[in-house]
Every structure is written in structure tokens, then in C-alpha cells.
Amino acid sequence: MEAVPHIPSGRVPKPFLGVYFSRCKIYGRLYPGRDDLYFVGNCPRCGFPVKIKRGKEGVKAHILDIACKSSH
């Protein structure tokens, strides 16, 4: 049996794209931008900006591996 996260009634879960920032060795999430055409965000450690197209022409994966600009 799979665990199902509890979502309070009336709340819709916000879509996101999981990202592994490989050079910083940290996971993060990208959320839809203001125009809703892209998932946008930054590496939580080095601040590297990421913008991924949403929709049919966008990425098919649910978790991406991104090589950010870590100086560690």
C-alpha cells in the first residue's frame, strides 16, 4: 500500500519539479513561474538560476540532474 500525503480539504497541491543540483550535492524544487510557462528556481546553496519549459514541449522527467556553478 502506497502512502498518500494528507492534503487539507479545499487546498490544491502546487505543482513542482524536483531537481538535484549535482555540484552542490543538494536537492531542490522548481515551481511554476508567474507566466506559468516555465518551472523556475535557484540552487539553494550557490544560487544558480534554472528555468525549465512546462507543457507538451517541456521536460518529461519528474526529477532532473542540474550541474550548477558550485565553487565548493
pLDDT digits (tens, 9 = 90+) for 25-52: 999 999 999 998 999 999 999 999 999 9
At residue 60, the pLDDT reads: 72
From 54, 43, 53, select the one nearest 21 (Cα to Cα). 43
Q: Which pLDDT band holds residue 4 (cuts at 50, 70, 90)?
A: low
Q: What is the pLDDT of residue 7?
A: 63
pTM of the entire structure?
A: 0.73
**pLDDT confidence of residue 5:** 63
Residue 7: partners with Cβ closer than 8 Å, 6 or more residues away: 13
